[in-house]
Structure 1
Amino acid sequence: MTLLLLYAAVFVAALVSVEALMRSYFRKSERQRAVNHRLSLLDASEDRLKTYRAMLKERGADEDWRSTPLIQRARQFYAQSGIKFDARRFALYGIVGAVLVWLAAQFLIPSILVRIPVFVLTCLLVPIIAVWRIRANRIRKFILKLPEALDVANRSLSAGHPLPAAISLVAREMPDPVGTEFGLLSDELTYGTTLDDALVNLSHRVGAEDLNLLAIALSVQAGTGGNLVEILQNLSKTLRDRAMLKAKVKAISSEGRITAIFMSVYPFLLYAMIKALSPTYFDTVWASGHGTTIVIVLISVMAVGNIILYKMVNFEY
């Protein structure tokens, strides 16, 4: 069993190393070709409509993805992560991940009645957690660059350009994810979508709450008039102040978040360490017939504690 785990670890290390090298190479090549993903696609094809549809398709947002209530949240959640669908890569990662999870469950959990539910639950939760983390990082990057994008648009408007031209300039000058998302916004305006609908689609694709402020500001200005440059300047300042407040809250609550992570991971690490050093140490617990009940109760208590810690370190502002 130890030899199988060793082989699995070597295989995973090799897979991750190759993936890291390929990702580094493609990222470097993409930076040399274009500022963002949309511009790189336009380099290969000058048909903007075809490129626009291809980008929506690879994000899973090509159809009416808000029509079915059951699928609505899942497809929107996936589209907001910015992950490009690749069936072969997803199949490879799914098979390798399932094998590794099964080997780990077989090593850590002797009881087959507990092992199978844990295996199924882990295989379901790991992709969801991975997409959730990627989505959160993408939204964070977008929010961080949004004030800078508004400054670029302000300079274009101050030079006398109309709003669509200012949005197009942001799409050309800003890196991902801001550049690509504003490029899709520019494409929608070009193909006849109203400004309000295009901003709603942008908000749904990105998932950032700060975009609601931008949508409201532009909608109100379009309906009532006013100095758009001054509005965007004030909005940019507001977004920067919000980002600064978020950074302060994150710094203040860092100790609580690290405590929550450590207390969540530590029991599993301790169990794995004891299991590796003394494989028969927990046999008495499993043989008693109460092992499953004990595990369920402990995981439930940990879940309640994690929820409490999450409420303590996350604030409304």
Structure 2
Amino acid sequence: MIEELLVFLGQNVVIGIFGLIFFILTYRNSVTLFQWIENQTYGRKEFIMNKFEFLHIKVKEEYVVYALLAIAFVIPSLIAAIFAFWGSFVWAAIFFTLFALLGWFIPKPLINYLCQQRIDQYQTQMIDGLNLLTNGIRAGLSMPQSIALVVNEMPAPISQEFNTILQQSKIGSPLEECFENLARRIPTEDNQMFVSSVNILRETGGNLAETFDTIVGVIRERIRLQQKIQSATAQGIMQGITIFCMPFAMALIYYVSDPKSMEIMFVHPLGIALMILAVVLDLIGGFFIYKIVKIKV
């Protein structure tokens, strides 16, 4: 009984010392810390608002700030409080740090992923959109009228992007500048080729319909090549996913078959350190596998 009490007091003293050191360092640098948090939060807010504008998502700026603070601090604090209530202060600190880092760094790549999905959708719609432009030009329509045809007939996102061209043109921007803005919003090789062709032929003269037919052929060939590469790398992707999930599956199997042998990995400091090391190494291995099987065309 006395030994258990001494062990309990020893653990609390160590936690208290680390907590006191953390409080002193935080208090002495509180002004700098909160200024850094404010700058980072508002910097991410501007980034997110710009991306939301690209995604055609309307949301108030203060809601973005509240969401960032909730994801990075409020949710990790609640999770840490639950573990602390159960008496596991070490795991409370670990999960607070883990979820705080995830909440801080995840929004940016997640929004970039959504933007890339939109760009990919635009890319797949370019063939039908350029065919509509070609038909409109061959029918005697002007370029703005052909663009309006795409806006009315095609779904988002290509209809939204072409509608942005029309709206910018209506407020007085030159059509060439509107297309350059499109190239900046959708920075793909096919779109750059399309914008450059339109602007050059509008200045020098030429057959836009034939040029669009050529661009459509190039895009079709690129899509066909991408599909072949995806088929060739599908096996490697599945193998990578299997290897990445294997350590977690083995840990679950050992825990179900013999819980006592695995409990030490979640209680003893050395076991916790080994678990963290295993997760980090697994994530690094998964990252390298992802880079190997990802081929750009």
Q: TM-score, normalised by structure 2?
A: 0.68
Q: Which residue in the other structure is 1:60 paired with? A: none
User: Structure 2 counterpart of 1:115, which letter?
Assistant: F
d(CA) in 1 for partners of 2:200, 2:278: 53
Say which one has the larger Rg: 2
Do residues 197 (structure 1) and 171 (structure 2) align?
Answer: no
d(CA) in 1 for partners of 2:234, 2:267: 41
SS at structure 1 position matched to 2:269: coil
Structure 1 residue ranges without an equivalent (≥5): 1-67
Alignment of 1:12-27 (within 5 A): none
Q: Which residue in the other structure is 2:111 paired with? A: 131
Query: Which structure has the highest helix share of the two?
Result: 2
Match for residue 75 of structure 2 among 98, 103, 110: 98
d(CA) in 2 for partners of 1:73, 1:153: 33
Residue-by-residue CA offset, 1:115-161 (whole Å, 9 max, x unaligned): 11112123234434543443233222211111100000111101111
Distance 1:314 1:152, change over 3 A: same
d(CA) in 2 for partners of 1:134, 1:222: 33
Residue-by-residue CA offset, 1:202-246 (whole Å, 9 max, x unaligned): 233345442111111112212322111111111111111111111
d(CA) in 2 for partners of 1:263, 1:212: 39
d(CA) in 1 for partners of 2:89, 2:293: 33
Do residues 313 (structure 1) and 293 (structure 2) align?
Answer: yes
Q: Which residue in the other structure is 2:167 paired with? A: 187
d(CA) in 1 for partners of 2:197, 2:78: 48
After TM superposition, give the deviation of residue 192 of structure 1 in Å.
1.6
Q: Which residue in the other structure is 1:171 paired with? A: 151
Identical aligned pairs, as a percentage?
20
Residue-by-residue CA offset, 1:267-307 (whole Å, 9 max, x unaligned): 34554676678765543224432245324432332233223
Q: 8 Å contact 1:76–1:204 — kept in the other structure? A: no
Residue-by-residue CA offset, 1:150-208 (whole Å, 9 max, x unaligned): 00011110111111111111111101111111111111122222233212322333454
Q: Which residue in the other structure is 2:213 paired with? A: 233
Q: Which range moved further: 147-156 or 195-204?
A: 195-204
Q: Which residue in the other structure is 1:151 paired with? A: 131
Alignment of 1:51-66 (within 5 A): none
Q: 8 Å contact 1:200–1:215 — kept in the other structure? A: yes
User: Structure 1 counterpart of 2:172, which letter?
Assistant: G
Structure 2 residue ranges without an equivalent (≥5): 1-41
CA RMSD of superposed structures (Å): 3.7
Q: 8 Å contact 2:76–2:95 — kept in the other structure? A: no
d(CA) in 1 for partners of 2:104, 2:146: 43
How many residues are paired up? 246
Larger relative contact order (C-alpha < 8 A, sep ≥ 6)?
Answer: 1
Alignment of 1:240-259 (within 5 A): 240-259=220-239
Q: Which range moved further: 185-194 or 77-86?
A: 77-86
Distance 1:306 1:110, change over 3 A: same
Q: Which residue in the other structure is 1:85 paired with? A: 59
